[in-house]
A and B are shown apart, each in its own frame.
Chain A
């Protein structure tokens, strides 16, 4: 059964304000610092303007990583994961509904959770399947589990997209994620570089604190783990019952993860 929980990551891409290239991300992964805040919006130059205008900041970040040449997207099935998606858009719709009674059809059409991957696939005229996931906790684990089921179902690779942004100020005490808008994508393939592992005796004290875990941070923790080869275990829940393990590797085995590597 463990073979079902084994996989590799082949290509990746990431976007956040003030991060310009793969070296920035590698340095961020090594140094363990939080992402810097910034108001910058992803340019998404690769998308036709008539479609691009429909995406807001978070959507643009997700589109930027999907269009990244380093990801070389080739119509694979996609698993799109975001805790809240473009929640500022839904909030504006509700406020308009309360104040004026009429809402923007354009905003409404883009307010569903799978709207951004939908926009991307329309632009590519692709019919690739998309699963869009949202959860407060265990989102990285849920996304990888979903992608594994798609591999088991015959896909040769699956694109995982993770993105989030801070909640609008109105959400007050519910705001517990990072203040930065970010997105990253990982291409999951069959392989033996990583394994999801379940520990039946989780640390009970840690389990009790799961409610206050920082899920957005756990998404970024996944990227940091994948980029930083010195790490071998990543807890995927605050209780650490599920963990991501990196297989002991020979030097250079991760070469495929450097964006410069081509996969002809």
Chain B
């Protein structure tokens, strides 16, 4: 799991062009959006596309559900583990 967590952190940094942010800077349990990293709704869409490309999973368009998966890197890793097709 910790490998996947670091992999997802790297994916987030690369996908969202987060200059000056390293894997170590991202708190595994902190919220990704709003507070925490301070990402916005465009980032959420961008990350959705990246997760599809990398893991073959499709995020629901339901806002509440997406919010759940994006709650933290740990939650995202759990979601990826459960639903990945590649």
Chain A residues packing against B (C-beta within 8 Å): 49-50, 52-54, 100, 102-106, 109
Contact = CB atoms under 8 A, between A and B. Distances in A.
B68 interface: no
A53 B17 CA distance: 6
Nearest to A55: B17
Contact of B42 (A52, A102, A105): A105
Q: Which of A49, A50, A100, A109 has the most CB of B within 10 A?
A: A50
Contacts of A49: 18-20
Interface in B30-68: 38-39, 42-43, 45-46, 49, 52-53
Nearest to B44: A105
Given A50-B38, A109-B42, A102 B19 contact: no
A149 B33 CA distance: 42
A106 B19 CA distance: 15
Interface in B13-32: 16-20
B45 A102 contact: no
7 contacts: A50-B38, A53-B16, A53-B17, A105-B45, A105-B46, A106-B45, A106-B46
A109 B45 CA distance: 11
B18 A105 contact: no
A102 B52 contact: yes
Contacts of B49: 102-105
Contacts of B19: 49, 52-53
A31 B75 CA distance: 61
Contacts of B38: 50
Contacts of B45: 105-106
For the complex of A and B, 10 pairs with smallest distance between CB atoms: A105-B45, A53-B17, A106-B46, A105-B46, A109-B42, A49-B19, A106-B42, A50-B38, A102-B49, A105-B42
Nearest to B39: A50
Contacts of A52: 19
A105 B20 CA distance: 22
Contacts of B39: 50
A154 to B, nearest CB: 35
A103 to B, nearest CB: 8
Q: Which of B17, B38, B39, B43 has the most CB of A within 10 A?
A: B17
A104 B47 CA distance: 9
